[in-house]
Structure 1
Amino acid sequence: MQHSFKPNVFRVAVTAAFGVAAAVAATSVSAQTRDQGRYVVGDFHNHTTCSDGQISVQKLVNKSVDTYGLDWFILAGHGGGGTRNCTLADDETVFTPSSNPFVPGQGPDTTWANSIGIGRVKGDRAAEGYMFRWQSTQEFEYPLLEAMAEAKQKPIFIGLESVVAGHEHSDTAVITGQLPATGRGNADPGAQWEYCFDRADTDLSRGADNQWDCTVPGGARNEFLDARGRKLTGAQDSGTLGHLKTVEGVRWLQAKYPTSSYYIPAHLERAGVFNPNGSNGFNIEHLRNFNNAGPTVAFGFEGGPGHQASNNRSYGTGATGGGTYGGAGYYTGKLGGVWDALLGEGRNWWIFNNSDYHSRGSFGPDDLRSTSDQYPGEFNRSHVLAKTGGKALTPQAIVDGMRSGNSYYVNGDLIDRLAFVACRSTGVSAEDQLAAVAAVTRAAIRNEGFETARCAQQGEKLVINKGEEVTIVAVLRDPEGSNLSPYTIPNPSLLQVGINQPLNQPVLDHVDLIAGLVTGYISPDSPLYAGAAPGGVGGAQDSPNATNPSTAIRATYSAANWTALPGGYKVIKQRVPNVQKSQYIRLRGSNIPAAVPNETDAAGNPLVDTLANNITVFPDAVACADPTAAAANVNCLTHLPVQGAGRRLDVDVEAFTDLWFYSNPIYVEVRGGTVVAGVK
């Protein structure tokens, strides 16, 4: 699925599509010296046996980086702690550095007490052999990851899936100290944050010999710190008070590590709407509070949750919105919903996706089938633009790229290249506009960013005068060949509308250009600030405060109106004349056309994924594409529930059926109009 264009091939292609002048201009782009950055793929939400996962750190890293080709990897088990030593390799076949050799008779389910000895376990539950996450992060997981990074010459470091006070879960990390250019590093700041602010960490030892103090610079709740543990505890861990504690945690990151940390709520619709007396979900006001408290730290959410191979693609009917929508959470999948409401304020609020890998469910970790999760890089992929100045990729370059908003997420390798820009075109000659399109095409082929004075990329804003014209250009690649699905059966969703397409060879059907108006930040004391978006669960309706009614599909592109280039590249160009108001634009695309029963509505919007269970799969004793997935001649679809004469579409087969990608937005700010305050 990897392609490259030789210069002469590229020149022929753009000449045919855009003309000689465009080709000449495009070939000159390679001479630019500015670091345009390159897109790198990674995962920052996954699990080993140090929390509730199935395998060791080593095996998860090997699968993610070697088998599934990730450019970077961030380990992120749950906060709190556990009794199992995830740094023990599963067996002698698993690559492990010399610092952590395989120990016969032991593996990642072996307890800390039975491996390192209970005397080395610290904190208030040491006598139980229960190691708090702060200690395993500091003393065991980070040193192993640093050794793995050295061995594989890739950024492999540590984060956290925090158990959030007042809510459910969030991805966070502090990279300060990790993977230094020379010498040995540490993960001390991230370990301290886990001790101080994770709801599941009940330790009051102050991190034993660390003697941490959780005082927040300028914090509003320092007076409530526990006298012994120097952290917020008890009633501060749930509901409304829990949310206030979590905001303090974001403030702590913003004050101490404003450019070397992140706070990204995970699968935030899964537990339903916020419960003021419990630990459920996130309403829009909580996301606004996080972004206000830490604008360079809390800059987005997990729009595409993991567990996509599980029943109903991760979310059940009790989730906000009643489930996922084409694999996206309701806050992302609903047109004009929570994400669009945040973008409509002009906030720097970006979306990502992750695997949330724990296990293969009813299958072993080396089987290609799954009733629970896919490995990092196997299905969910976040492409982030990283600028390295020609040097090696670093944790800082990755986090800077995440913060920039110049990223996009993809499921099932539907696309693997995207260059997306908006350019001022008033007063620009037709020849120069064609040259710009060709230059953006070259950026996509090179997997690079694209910067010029009159254009903006994802996560940036283009400032124009009222009435000027803007031209939107997107170039993407639908990779030829097969993706990582082990199934070769015809896509059962597409068969409903007469399309016979192998499940492991998806074809991009269309791309939607979506836009909405920017009306400015809403003040916390405004009646428009707070609101839940249950998505009609139990008859409840979304609050108008959590929607953006101006959001709409402005154009749809397919084979009928995009320009196709060799190698699977598609070129999209859209003129927007006479722009009067500040706005944002974003892209999404799918292999599923509009009006496919149980999958999309008449406009092409994704329907709730629980409906896909109504689709019957007729496996006909199909074997797996890769025989290592199961014994020879074994029907690979026997894990699907029986439904009539066939089987019900569900779990990993459903995940590979309905694929989507989402870009992050580009803002257009009109001088004299609403200011896009969240983007410089």
Structure 2
Amino acid sequence: MKPVFRPAPIALAAIAALGTTVLVAAPQVASAAKPAGTYVTGDFHNHTTCSDGSISMQKLVKKVTDKTDTPWGLDWFVQAGHGGSGNRNCTLVEDASLATPAYPLNYDSNGNLQGPTTTWQSSNPAVQPKGRVSGSAPGQVMWRWQSLQEFQYPVMEYLAAYKNKPMFVGIETVAPGHEHVSASVITGQMPASLDKATLPTTKGYTPLGNATALAQWEYCFDRNDTDTSRGNSVLGGDVGNNWNCAVPGSLNSASSDWSAQAQKLVPASGSGNGDRGHAKTLEALKWMVANHPNGSYYVPAHLERAGPFNPDGNNGFNIEHLRNFNNTAPRVAFGFETQPGHGASDNRGEYSPLRNNINGVLTDSVGGTTWGGTGVYGSQVGGVWDALLGEGRNWWFFASSDWHNRGSFGPDDRRSTQDFYPGEYQRDYVMVRNGTDPKLRPQAIVDGLRSGNSFAASGQLIDRLAFVACASYPGIGARTNAAVENIAVNAALNNTDVDVAGCATMGEKLVVRPGAEVIVSIVARDPAGKNYSPYSFNNPSLAQVGIQQPLNMPVLDHIDVVRGMVTGYKQPGTAGYAGQWPNDWLTNPVMANVPAAAKNTSAAVIKTFNGATWTAVAGNAEYKKMTFRIPAVQASQYVRLRGSNLPAAVPYETDANGNPLADIHTNASNLANLRIPCNVAGTNLPSNNVVYTGDTIDGCPAHLPTVNGQKYVAFDVAAWSDLWFYSNPIYVEVQGATAVAGVK
């Protein structure tokens, strides 16, 4: 991979220097300049021994941010873990390479090393869980509110200062009525005073900031946090936090679900539990809006995995629940992780048929599996995502690693039958605006996520993207394609976005007069050289269609432009607001069977660019540029992008129109479904029982499933074979037509 360079963001003066064409094309006076910003990479959903991950916080931070031990260092990182409880002391480290002055190696009274799987009560010295303690000593569990507040946050603050890396703490909360959601409340975390802090040279660290707001939110609203102590040292005592979970303007103690002892909602189980749980989840969002409106985010994770919503239990999310979230807290609930982690699992994303037992009936993950590594809500053109965008909502696409472990391999092995590390395979590229501040702060990261000015890519398929739409009018307001393309080229080369009047980029709204022409320009960098795959043999999926391309040197095959019309917000309780995705999608993927609430029939691929229709940027062939016009617009609309290393009509990967097919035929959980052979013998094929840390495996690895002597594509090889990127949309609002209400 080529090193990423980040010159200063593009300025209007630089645009003017391109020539008079640009000046004629954009005569409008620019609005107030945006603060300086750049696209940076990160991950906000992953796990350590603080919840159910396999490694310590220190080891995960090293793997994620270090560019020596691992090459994929991220620019920012949020360490999250499940809500509820855990019994492992996740402040402890595995070995001396991870020890620091404040958190050195820890030994028991007999001199034995205590690692991160040591229980809290077995630690030296022992740590006593607080609140309504459950379990038996020495394995009693600690509520996550305590571990967040007293242990996880201090370690992360120390590591952020010690390594000078932008990091903070989040949570994968277990949502009442649903499954999992990536969330955080950043208030109190990583204060500016940390910049000048003197770090300790001996054991122990007292943080300057805190994660108390996040800890309180977890206590109040996580479904698995059944503590009733109000965040106090002992149940019934008043020493501690004395939290009250009341939400301004809500029923609170007047609700039948309110626990006076816990001072929080505790929905009863049984019939209607899912509906009651969803109501509590909306209270969680109201709490964020009331108390931390700019310092919170709430992004449903792998939301198709647990199946459709169950009104009598805790399962997935239908589209009406996403609408409810966004209606309740539009600046907090602003997107979803429809490209899940667990990309190397035997069921990609851990989505599978018959995965969930809902009221005694085995039910598929929504969509049955992932489609090109993405859930059906995001991958299906005209589906749930397009339905939300068709309302004009700020609802953005995100990806995550969901790191837990390497499956059948150890954490230092480059092969995987379960997860990829944050940044190794999937990453979010987010525009952050820290202006003249030399530090990248948590608030800038959260603001960047909220803005929608971002894209997600797997396998380093692309690592730069400028996606620009500009208005053009007859006469003095005319713009040429070349002028807009020049703007996009300079933005891509400088790894920034566009600050030009009459133009917009991802997550933004371009307001135009009826009849305007909209010029759309795209510049993407397909980086030369190797990506982070350990496999150097040719992609078996592409080999089916005669393309010889190493797995660790993918090539962008094409970019699709998807357009949909904007028709305005649907109102709760009206027809077309609620609807469940069909349960039989895997065997009968027919859009006619999708309820009107969950689709946008106007969405379609309107342009496809590839090597025959894009051109290379002069002097830098890695950058591909492409431009087109949408003539005489009369209706409000949006455009978004997707792209892949796979052309159309790759067997078991893409259909004749280039849409991703179900990943069922590369999921090793059912050997009878496997279809893509892997036939490269190779000379460097390390056995499964040795740790391999290199990147030159030149043949089908030993861990691939074998049927009747034939190896088949699955696990991590399947993921590295099948790469996609997705951009967030640009909205076009036509004056006098439907207003794009959710986006500035």
Equivalent AA in structure 1 for residue 352 of structure 2: G
State how far apart, in whole Å, the 1-side matches of 2:389 and 2:224 are.
32
2:630 paired with 1:594: no
* Aligned mates of 1:405, 1:632 — CA distance in 2: 37
- 1:608: which partner in 2? 662
Which segment drifts farther, 512-521 or 215-224? 215-224
Structure 2 counterpart of 1:189? 213
User: Which one is further off, 306-315 or 627-636?
Assistant: 627-636
After superposition, the C-alpha distances for 1:602-641 in whole angstroms (9 at most, x for unaligned) are 1101011112331111131452699943799997611111
Which residue identity is paired with 2:317? F
Aligned partner (choices 713, 718, 723) of residue 649 of structure 1: 713
Give the one of 83, 90, 114 matched to 1:86: 90
Contact 2:36–2:436 (Cα < 8 Å) also in 1: no
- Whichever residue aligns with residue 90 of structure 1, its letter is E
C-alpha separation between the residues in 2 aligned to 1:336 and 1:197?
A: 33
Shift of 1:4: 6.9
Give 1:676's aligned residue: 740
Partner of 1:287: 322
State the partner residue of 1:557. 609
Deviation of residue 174 (structure 1)? 0.3
More divergent stretch after superposition (607-616 vs 279-288): 607-616
Please give the alpha-carbon distance, in whole angstroms, between the structure 2 residues aligned to 1:539 and 1:633: 38
Matched, 1:372 2:418: yes
Is the CA contact (8 Å cut-off) linking 2:518 and 2:629 kept in structure 1?
Answer: yes
Deviation string for 1:205-224 (max 9, x for gaps)? 00011010010111245423
SS at 2:282 equivalent: helix
In structure 2, how many angstroms separate the alpha carbons of the residues matched to 1:658 and 1:480? Answer: 18
**Relative to structure 2, which stretch is displaced further, 96-105 or 150-159?**
96-105
- Separation in 2 of the partners of 1:223 and 1:670? 46
Distance 2:630 2:697 in 1: 55
Aligned partner letter, 1:536: D
Which of 620, 627, 632 lines up with 2:681 in the alignment?
620
Give the residue type in structure 1 aligned to 2:249: G
Look up the equivalent residue of 2:429 and give its one-letter code.
H
Q: How far apart, CA to CA, are the structure 2 residues paired with 1:437 and 1:539?
A: 42
CA contact (8 A) 2:177 2:281 kept: yes
What's 1:267 paired with? 302
Equivalent-residue separation in structure 1 for 2:728 and 2:153 (angstroms): 31
Q: Does 1:161 align with 2:161?
A: no
Amino acid at match of 2:448: G
Instruction: Confirm or deny: 8 A CA contact 1:25 1:439 kept in the other structure.
Output: no
Compared CA separation, residues 288 and 622, structure 1 to 2 (3 A): farther
Q: Residues 601 and 523 (structure 1 numbering): CA distance in 2 closer, same or farther, change over 3 Å?
A: same
Q: Distance in 2 between matches of 1:622 and 1:467?
A: 62
- How far the C-alpha of 1:544 sits from its partner, in A, is 1.9
CA contact (8 A) 2:484 2:519 kept: no
Structure 2 equivalent of residue 571 of structure 1:
625
Question: 2:695 and 2:390 mapped to 1: Cα distance?
Answer: 52
Q: Does residue 696 of structure 2 align to residue 664 of structure 1?
A: no
Please give the per-residue CA displacement for 1:340-390, whole angstroms capped at 9, x wherever unaligned: 000000000001111000000000000000000000000010000000012
Per-residue deviation, residues 279-334 of structure 1 (Å, max 9, x unmatched): 11100000000001101000000021000011131211221001101111110011
Q: Report the AA paired with residue 377 of structure 2.
A: Y
1:339 aligns with 2:385: yes
Rate the CA distance shift 1:140–1:636 in 2: closer, same or farther, 3 A: farther
**One of 587, 592, 597 as aligned partner of 1:545:** 597
Aligned Cα root-mean-square deviation (Å): 2.6
**Structure 1 pair 348–530 and aligned structure 2 pair: CA distance change class (3 A):** same
1:172-571 alignment, distance < 5 Å: 172-183=183-194, 184-208=208-232, 209-224=240-255, 225-235=258-268, 238-314=273-349, 315-317=351-353, 318-391=364-437, 392-427=439-474, 433-534=481-582, 536-537=584-585, 541-565=593-617, 566-571=620-625
**Distance in 2 of aligned mates of 1:627 and 1:103:** 26
SS in structure 1 opposite 2:265?
coil
1:382-417 deviation digits (Å, cap 9, x = unpaired): 000000012111000000000000000000000000
Deviations 1:512-557 (A, max 9, x none): 0000000000000202110011363476942221000100000000
Q: Deviations over 1:218-274 (max 9, x none)?
A: 124542320100111141794111111111101111111111100000000001111
- Aligned partners of 2:33 and 2:450: how far apart in 1? 24
Which 10-residue stretch deviates more, 537-546 or 60-69?
A: 537-546
Q: Structure 1 or 2: larger helix share?
A: 1
The letter of the residue matching 1:82 is G
Q: CA deviation at 1:2?
A: 2.2
- Residue 645 of structure 1 deviates from its aligned partner by 4.0
- Consecutive unaligned residues of structure 2, counting only runs of 5 or more, are 26-31, 108-112, 195-207, 233-239, 354-363, 667-673
What amino acid is aligned across from residue 381 of structure 2 in structure 1?
A: L
Q: Secondary structure at the match of 1:656?
A: helix
Query: Map of 1:109-120 to 2, 5 A cutoff?
Result: 109-115=117-123, 120=128
Q: Name the amino acid aligned to 2:41.
A: V
Cα distance in structure 2, aligned partners of 1:220 and 1:101: 48
Task: Return the offset for 1:22.
Answer: 6.5
- Tell me if structure 1 keeps the 8 A contact 2:46–2:422: yes
Q: What is the rounded CA distance, in whole Å, between the counterparts of 2:275 and 2:710 in structure 1?
A: 48
| Structure 1 residues 449-507: Cα deviation after superposition (integer angstroms, max 9, x where no partner) | 11111101111100111111000011110000010110111101101100010011000
Question: Which segment drifts farther, 621-630 or 162-171?
Answer: 621-630
> Would you say the 8 A contact 1:425–1:433 is kept in 2?
no
Question: Amino acid of the residue matched to residue 406 of structure 1?
Answer: N
SS at match of 1:321: coil
Amino acid in the other structure paired with 1:71: D
State which drifts further: 516-525 or 418-427. Answer: 418-427
Matched residue type, 2:259: D
* Secondary structure of residue in 2 paired with 1:303: strand
Q: Return the letter of the residue paired with 1:101.
A: P
In structure 2, the CA distance between the partners of 1:5 and 1:382, relative to structure 1 (3 Å rule), is closer
- Residues in 1 aligned to 2:644 and 2:152: alpha-carbon distance in whole angstroms: 38
CA contact 1:461–1:679 (8 Å) conserved in 2: yes
Amino acid at match of 1:214: C
Contact (CA 8 Å) 1:36, 1:449: kept in 2 or not? no
1-structure distance, mates of 2:132, 2:740: 48
In 1, the alpha carbon distance for the partners of 2:400 and 2:520 equals 28
Matches of 2:269 and 2:498 in 1, distance apart?
Answer: 46
Q: How many residues align?
A: 667
Return the letter of the residue paired with 1:106.
Q
SS of aligned partner of 1:103: coil
- Structure 1 residue 568, shift from structure 2 partner: 0.5
Q: Distance in 2 between matches of 1:597 and 1:119?
A: 56
CA contact under 8 A between 1:355 and 1:380: conserved in structure 2?
yes
Q: Structure 2 length as normaliser, TM-score?
A: 0.86
Amino acid corresponding to residue 116 of structure 2 in structure 1: P
- Give distance in 2, aligned partners of 1:531 and 1:333: 18
CA contact 1:137–1:187 (8 Å) conserved in 2: yes
Structure 2 counterpart of 1:29: none
Aligned with residue 105 of structure 2, among 85, 98, 102: 102
Give the Cα–Cα distance (whole angstroms) in 2 for the partners of residues 646 and 368 of structure 1. Answer: 23
Which whole-Å CA distance do the structure 2 matches of 1:557 and 1:539 have between them?
30
- 1:600 and 1:101, CA in 2 relative to 1: closer, same or farther beyond 3 A? same
- Verify the 8 A CA contact 1:514 1:554 in the aligned structure 2: yes
* Worse-superposed segment, 121-130 or 72-81: 121-130
Query: Equivalent residue of 1:516, what SS?
Result: strand
What's the offset of the Cα at 1:116? 5.5
1:633 and 1:228, CA in 2 relative to 1: closer, same or farther beyond 3 A? closer
CA distance in 1, matches of 2:537, 2:681: 9
